[in-house]
Structure 1
Amino acid sequence: MKRFLSIYFVMMISLLPLHLVAQISPEEVTVDSTKAIVLTLTDGSQLQGEILSVTDTELELQKQAGRIFVRLDRIEVIHTADPDAPLRRWFKNPNTSRLFVSPTARPLQKGQGYYQNVYIFISGLSYGITDNFSVTGGISMLPGVRISNQLFFGGARFGGAVSENHYFSAGAVAATAGGADSALYIGFGNYTYAHSRGSFTTGITTFSVMDDVGAYSILLGMDYRFSQRIAFVTENHVFPQESATVLSYGLRFMGEQMSVDLAFLQPGAGINVGFGIPFLDFVFNF
């Protein structure tokens, strides 16, 4: 049981944020300055405006704030804007690449990143090296514990969209605490189906500590944005070999560049924690 709980605790700080979708061709772009369209980008964000021109590599988009140029390889799909749809007035979801503690398969783009703080004392940074590849790393800052004995973790992942709204990713992370005789190694493969208000994610996560190899969990998670600033998020892990589950559910409060999760964890395995163990984290995008 101790091993099961320690594995999940390290999963909580493994905040890994992949892109393989074909580029939109110039022939697929209709230049019409009188028709409002919505561009869905490869990172899940959206832009709305009128297309003024197109070249082999980019298109010119007229927005209310002015004209911008968008690379064709950053565009996942183009569709006509619905003038009555409320979603077109919402700011983009600032936290599409992760649930509470596990990553979705939706990627960070090149140059994008975020800082995450969990329970105040655990900090992590994730950054997109390319549109397909991102890295992460972090450290705990527990009071009264020397820096050499703190928890350190780092990892990477690769993947992205394989078709409209469908994403795959795979990655690995290693974590160790100062003075420990061994490290925990985690590998994962995830699939995400995304839609305008949220996403559904499933996948398999494997664990290895020293010669203890073969433990794994099945991930089932989703997020649903029922208003511009609030989403419901749930993340659930089934450990078949342990006959145990870890369930979580809560709310995500969003701004244009940040989000705060207030949730509860249910560790299962016969442990009675009432309503659940409170979970708190903060994410800021840069």
Structure 2
Amino acid sequence: MSLFLRTFLCSLALASFSKSAFAQTPAERVLVVSPVVGEVIDGAEKARFGLFPYYMADDFQEARFVRVLAPDSSITLRTRLRDGRLVARPFTAAEFQAAHDLIERRQRELDANPQPAAGVFTPAGQATPEQLGSTYSVELRSGNTFIGVLQTVSIEELEFATKDLGVVRVQRTNLKRMVLLTSEQAAKGYGDVGNGTRLFFAPTARNLRRGEGYLQDIDIYLIGVNYGVTDNISVGALVPIIPGIGGNVFAITPKVSVAITEKFHVGGGALYARAFGYGGGVAYGVGTYGSADDNVTAGLGYGFADGFEGSTSPILLLGGAKRLSRSFSFLTETYIASGGFLGLIGGRLQGDRYGGSLGFIYGTEVGGIYPAYLEMTYRFGKHK
């Protein structure tokens, strides 16, 4: 058989096979469920109109409806997930019409109420419009909290997609607070705990937000309280757990701070204490770079005392915090002076309202490392 004839027969066989294979795959055309979303429905549109609740918002990438050009004229929802998988789900004509009606009804609600009022706050504490498709940390008036992707919004309720609870609908009357999470926080599955205003005992340049406060017990003996008067000014006090013991000891800790950028803050303040009829303290300036959970701090402090007019050597503060999990953070703070250094190193367990810290002391005059700082904290007021 000639080379030409063999080539011709092979080509004919391939053409026949391709035609047969093509005939086994019915032709399709894309269906537009609503002109509001068009041919391809993306993640934001899924969230905005509350579509396809059987696909999690974090997994969903896009979808489209197609109709097979065959006698049964079946409808299929073809969905692409973020991990690359393609999923086909049969749709009846009634389900397709229900999806159309849902989109149209939701669009009318959005047109009538483009920005429904709600207590939505960013990590900086500023009110913002609700952002469909974004991840929020939600606190209810009952005290329950969860993290979810905002899917739909109406005048009376909000709907979230959560990993553990499925779809959660919240009446606005039951909503206490919503905090918009950054992309990094959403990926971790939790938001900041507090506003990163201190390490162990040392302050950072980040300030308590207005209405945010905490009550703490330090080494059993001392009780402290701090409160955000404004977003830039906070005040605190420290007294013995039994008033009158220890020579009427008390301390006050005012602080002022300013955000230069989202991650860089500067501030200053003082710790003034009186005991046994004498008073003194430390005035300081400090700078902090980072978020509420992960930051580094450096500052300078100068000591002062009642009736003392001489100068003192500056004290250098170096410290930082690193959140390692939902409930645990690593902390360190070191004070360096001309005579040496003294520091604390350890960690903090933290929850939504309650927390505790354990610090080990070390330094040039300590001769080892020993547990020295034990603290329990309760956060009150604004805490998101």
Residue 256 of structure 2 is matched in structure 1 by: 158
Aligned residues: 235
Aligned match for 1:192, one of 240, 264, 288? 288
1:129 positional shift: 0.9
* Secondary structure class of the residue paired with 1:171: strand
Query: Are positions 1:115 and 2:211 aligned together?
Result: no
Q: 1:139 aligns with which of 217, 239, 257?
A: 239
Q: Distance in 2 between matches of 1:178 and 1:62?
A: 59
Match of 2:342 in 1: 246
| Distance in 1 (alpha carbons) for counterparts of 2:215 and 2:176 | 28
**Cα 1:230–1:148, aligned 2, differ >3 Å: closer, same or farther?**
closer
Residue 274 of structure 1 corresponds to 368
Q: Is the CA contact (8 Å cut-off) linking 2:267 and 2:285 kept in structure 1?
A: yes
Letter in 1 for 2:342: V
Is structure 2 residue 263 aligned with structure 1 residue 204?
A: no
Please tell me whether the aligned partners of residues 195 and 209 of structure 2 are also in contact (alpha carbons under 8 angstroms). no
Contact kept in structure 1, 2:239 and 2:251, CA below 8 Å: yes
SS at match of 2:134: strand
Could you tell me how far apart the structure 2 residues matched to 1:206 and 1:65 are? 54
Indicate conservation of the 8 Å contact 2:196/2:291, yes or no.
Answer: no
Please tell me the residue identity of whatever aligns with 1:173: L
CA distance in 1 between counterparts of 2:246 and 2:184 reads: 54
Partner of 1:265: 361
Tell me the distance in 1 between the aligned counterparts of 2:246 and 2:361.
29
Shift, 1:118, TM fit: 1.0
Distance 2:197 2:191 in 1: 16
Measure the CA separation in 1 of the matches of 2:292 and 2:234.
24
Aligned CA distance change for structure 1 residues 152 and 32 (closer, same or farther; 3 Å): closer
> Residue 238 and residue 170 in structure 1: after superposition, are their counterparts in 2 closer, same or farther (change >3 A)?
same
Match of 1:149 among 226, 247, 250: 247
CA-CA distance at 1:213 after TM superposition = 3.0
| Identity across the alignment (%) | 24
Distance verdict in 2 for CA 1:79–1:281, change over 3 Å: closer
Q: Which has the higher contact order (CA 8 A, sep 6+)?
A: 1
Partner of 1:7: none
Shift of 1:50: 3.7
Q: Secondary structure at the match of 2:209?
A: coil
For residue 351 of structure 2, the aligned residue among 250, 255, 262 is 255
More strand by share: 1
1:281 and 1:62 map into 2 onto residues whose CA distance is: 39
Root-mean-square deviation (CA, aligned residues, Å) is 3.5
Match for 1:140: what amino acid? Answer: P
Aligned match of 1:234: 332
Consecutive unaligned residues of structure 1, counting only runs of 5 or more, are 1-21, 40-46, 54-59
Shift of the 51–111 alpha-carbon distance from structure 1 to 2, 3 Å rule, reads: farther
Assess if the C-alpha contact under 8 Å between 2:196 and 2:292 holds in 1: no
Provide the rounded CA distance (Å) in 2 between the counterparts of 1:23 and 1:258: 20
Say which SS state the counterpart of residue 109 (structure 1) adopts: coil
C-alpha separation in 2, matches of 1:24 and 1:285: 20
Q: Which has the higher helix share?
A: 2
Shift in Å, 1:160: 3.1
Residues 48, 167 of structure 1: alpha-carbon distance in 2 compared, 3 angstrom cutoff: farther
- C-alpha separation in 2, matches of 1:65 and 1:233: 38
- Between structure 1 and structure 2, the one with the greater Rg is 2
